[in-house]
Amino acid sequence: MGWFDFARAPSGTTVETLRLPLFPLNTVLFPGGMQPLKIFEQRYLDMAAACMKENSPFGICLIASGSETGKAAEPHPVGTLATIGDWEMEQLGILHITARGGRRFRIIETQSNGANLLEATVELLAAGEPAAVPLERQRLLPLLQRIVKDLGPQRMPEPHRFDDAEWVGYRITEVLPIQNLAKQKLLELDDPLARLEILETFLDQRKLLG
């Protein structure tokens, strides 16, 4: 199978699938997010080298069971495509990269190769219809604007889409001091307006909104 493949679903809709390597981590990457990674295991060094050579993505998933090192971990079924932006190898065998989040995907099946690198066939999930931030949720914007300013362009690069409910929800979620499983649930949520409502309730309860 090539990198991209298109399959016809029983309903007649087109399902876009992709075969790619997975990088299970104890973190959640969101579409449009930036994630610095330190890579030192040979399987992931080889994966990163292949992705850079072929200009192809890999998948980042939150670990459901297992650990980041050693035997291949079991990932949660929904993850995010990642492409490699900046990279640097300060010393032999240690690679620093910045991964940028792309589209979400759902795992169809996985298999582990001889190097304990997980490979998966995934279904790419469609982005939601563009939705403006509703008037009643715009209380979230001053907080996010402060966060973007404080973190700077390396963590929050332009374009800043403060009028896009999905972008606003992802950016707030990724910096919240909450458990990764809660972030995973918010990643899996398809409705960007429902995500904003959940975030507003959470922040209100902690008196973090003006």
Tell me the CA distances in angstroms from 120 to 13, 40, 185, one per residue in order: 22, 22, 21
Percentage of the chain modeled with pLDDT above 70: 94
CATH architecture of 4-124: Roll (2.30)
- Residue-wise pLDDT tens digits, 70-87: 888 999 999 999 999 999
User: What local confidence, expressed as pLDDT, does residue 70 receive?
Assistant: 86
The lowest-confidence range among 11-25, 113-127, 196-210 is: 11-25
User: What local confidence, expressed as pLDDT, does residue 174 receive?
Assistant: 97
Q: Which residues pair with 98 in a beta bridge?
A: 36
- Residue-wise pLDDT tens digits, 146-172: 999 999 998 999 999 999 999 999 999
CA distance 127 to 146: 26
∠3-6-12 over CA atoms, to 5°? 165
- Ordered by start, the domain boundaries in the chain are 4-124, 135-205
**Fold agreement between 4-124 and 135-205:** no
CA distance 169 to 86: 25
* Total residue length of the chain: 210
Identify which has the larger pLDDT, 40 or 1: 40
Pair 35, 24: CB distance under 8 Å: no
Is pLDDT of 7 > 70? Answer: no
SS3 string of 102-141?
EEEEEEEEEEECCCCCEEEEEEECCCCCCCECCHHHCCHH
Pair 155, 140: CB distance under 8 Å: no
The pTM of the full predicted model, rounded to 2 decimals, is 0.90
The lowest-confidence range among 4-8, 33-37, 101-105, 203-207 is: 4-8
Average pLDDT over residues 129-140: 94
∠105-94-87 over CA atoms, to 5°? 60
Residue 24: CB atoms within 10 Å:
23
Which is it for the CA torsion 188, 40, 179, 206, positive or negative? Answer: negative
Nearest alpha carbon to residue 23 among 33, 38, 7: 38
Instruction: Write the class of the CATH domain 135-205.
Output: mainly alpha
- Residue 13's pLDDT band, with cuts at 50, 70 and 90, is low
DSSP secondary structure letters along 158-185: SP--TTBHHHHHHHHHHHS-S-HHHHHH
